[in-house]
Amino acid sequence: MEENRSGSNGSVLVAGDIMLDIYRFGNVNRISPEAPVPVFSETGKHKSVPGGAANVAVNMAAIGMKTALFSLVGSDAAGDALLESLQKLEIDVSAVKRSPERRTTSKLRFIGPNNQQILRVDMEETEDMHIKDVEDLFYSIERRIREFGLMLLSDYKKGFLSEEISKRLVELGRKNNIPVLVDVKDVNISKYKGAYLLKPNRKELGELTGMPAGTIDDVEKAAIKLCENAECSYVLTTLGADGMLLVNKDGKLAYSKSTAKEVYDVTGAGDTSIAYLAAEILQGKSIYEAVETANYAAGVQVSKLGTSIVYPYEVERAMGREAVALNRKLLDYYRKDGLERIADDRRNGKKAVFTNGCFDILHAGHISYLKRARELGDFLVVGVNSDASVRRLKGESRPINSLADRCLVLSALEFVDYVVPFEEDTPNRLIKAVLPDVLVKGGDYNIEEIVGKDIVEANGGIVTTVSFVPGKSTTGIVDRVVNGNDEERRYRNHP
């Protein structure tokens, strides 16, 4: 099998255990008088996001890969919620079976102060699936197999990837020259025999081989042994704070140290890393480039709370590719999926702040205003008037800077998360699309006259103002450039 695979088959088939990750937020202020346990007082804030193999698929879709899922959910409310969230992201769920006999795997986490996890409750059934239970869906996968450029097996040992199903998927990939990447959990190596790449963590590697995996040298020896026993091309071992180690049967190929600057929550890091690894391979990158990108993606993931999407611009920024990262902050809300990243942040329980303006010449007043606006929520969306819109509002001599330049400068600000140009004279339509939790404008505005106030308040949001820095304005800067200020005139008259 070729190491690089770009080709025309740009779709990914993700097979494995999908689940719903549920988060409930609250406070703990006392111990129960009934038993020495904390009393969790819910605040009413909660979120539900796809987890397990579904989280892999969601990250693949966020990267821009056309993604299909092969899995199973129960005929229950959790299954409904999971499939609905996946369909909103345009993930193909036609090969996801609804089963009245099995409930949807769910993980309920109670999150206390400072986003500390208090308790996790798992709802699951882990009996192995029989191939006959999904035979019809398997035949549909076989009929369309040439659509896929890569297959990814995400095994959480919840029963879907039984030995017979796993073997058949690996064989299907080999027969059609399609790389099969496996995020392994089971100690039964025969399930994965013949796959292109296996991705265990340090603990799983030790269990799979019966060998020590404490040091990097230990990991290398055990990974080589696994590569031989599983007859695969590569083994990529994730090592947490120690990074990742890639080997083939002949020895170590690459060691990538951890890039995480702050470890906040390790949930979903493995899903994110294998999603980016798969995407890079599918796009024709070398295995070495793929491992590097996957390592950076994992570093971004562990800086977030819980199961979250890691977007390409975040990875590009972490890798020091600022120009690419800045461009990815720019959203096109006139496209159907233009604001999907904002919607996803909202689904993840984040509080959206929105403001807008021309931002023709970015000055100290703007910086102070935008920084304070960002402090009102979890992420800041800045609407920017188009060039034509600025001319209609400010006159034919404006803007001084083009829309592209204004958006680039705004994107470079760390506290600006998204930049969204709009063509209309007012941001009314854009505000309806974003539905922010907080709408903020400068202190020179009367709150009752702020465009979008009715929309935001009707949706339960708030409208507020932030005071400007005195004496700082674009108009004043333009006037001084054209006419010169008093000090400059005095210098010209009395050199």
Q: Is the peptide bond before 212 cis (omega within 30 degrees of 0)?
A: no
Residue 218, pLDDT above cutoff 50: yes
What is the share, in percent, of the chain residues with pLDDT greater than 90? Answer: 55
For residue 318, give the H/E element and its range.
helix 312-318
pLDDT of residue 195: 97
Which is more confident, 285 or 182? 182
Q: What is the rounded CA–CA span in Å between residue 450 and residue 463?
A: 8
pLDDT of residue 495: 35
Please, which residues bridge with residue 108 across strands? Answer: 22, 121
pLDDT of residue 321: 66
Tell me the average pLDDT across 78-96: 93
pLDDT of residue 477: 57
Q: At what angle do helices 202-209 and 216-230 cross, to 10 degrees?
A: 50
Residue 302, pLDDT above cutoff 80: no
Mean pLDDT of the chain: 86
Tell me the average pLDDT across 22-26: 93
For residue 423, give every residue at least 6 positions away whose Cβ sits within 8 Å of its Cβ, in sequence order, or none: 386, 388, 389
Residue type, 197: L
Integer angstrom CA distances of residue 446 from 9, 235, 295, 393, 476? 55, 62, 48, 19, 22
DSSP code at position 201 = B
Integer angstrom CA distances of residue 182 from 100, 155, 159, 479? 28, 7, 15, 63
Residue type, 11: S
* Per-residue pLDDT tens over the stretch 34-46: 999 999 999 888 8
Residue 232, pLDDT above cutoff 70: yes
In this structure, the number of other CB atoms found within 10 A of the CB of residue 363 comes to: 16
pLDDT of residue 8: 42
pTM for this structure? 0.67
Three-state secondary structure string covering 128-176: CCCHHHHHHHHHHHHHCHHHEEEEEEECCCCCCCCHHHHHHHHHHHHHC
Task: Lowest mean pLDDT of 99-103, 152-156, 251-255, 306-310, name the range.
Answer: 306-310
pLDDT of residue 491: 35
Residue 489, pLDDT above cutoff 50: no
Q: What is the rounded CA–CA span in Å between residue 198 and residue 181?
A: 6
pLDDT of residue 327: 66
Which is more confident, 42 or 488? 42
pLDDT band at 137, cuts 50/70/90?
very high
Q: What is the rounded CA–CA span in Å between residue 184 and residue 255?
A: 20
Which is more confident, 262 or 207? 207
* Per-residue pLDDT tens over the stretch 447-466: 888 999 999 999 999 999 98
Which is more confident, 344 or 368? 368
Tell me the average pLDDT across 408-426: 90
Q: At what angle do helices 269-282 and 53-63 cross, to 10 degrees?
A: 50
Task: Lowest mean pLDDT of 7-11, 19-23, 57-61, name the range.
Answer: 7-11
Tell me the average pLDDT across 290-319: 80
Q: What is the rounded CA–CA span in Å between residue 333 and residue 340?
A: 9
What long-range pairs does 80-87 form, CB within 8 A, spacing at least 24?
Answer: 81/20, 81/48, 82/18, 82/19, 82/20, 82/50, 82/54, 85/48, 85/49, 85/50, 85/347, 86/50, 86/54, 86/57, 86/58
Q: Which of 17, 133, 271, 360 is catalytic?
A: 271
271 is catalytic: yes
Quote the strand ranges of 193-322, DSSP E.
197-199, 234-238, 244-248, 251-256
* Per-residue pLDDT tens over the stretch 266-281: 566 788 889 999 999 9
